[in-house]
Amino acid sequence: MATTPADKEAEFIAAVQAERSRQDRIWGGYDHDHQHTNAEWLTYLIKYAGKVADAAVRGETYSMKRRLIQLAALCQALYRLLP
In sequence order, what are the residues at sequence separation of 6 or more whose Cβ sits closer than 8 angstroms to the Cβ of residue 32? none
Per-residue pLDDT tens, the chain, 83 aa: give them.
668 999 999 999 999 999 999 999 999 998 899 999 999 999 999 999 999 999 999 999 999 999 999 999 999 999 999 99
Query: What pLDDT score does 82 carry?
Result: 93
Domain positions in the chain are 37-83
| Phi, psi angle pair for 35, to nearest 5° | -80, -15
Query: What pLDDT score does 3 carry?
Result: 86
Query: What pLDDT score does 80 carry?
Result: 93
The reported pTM is 0.91
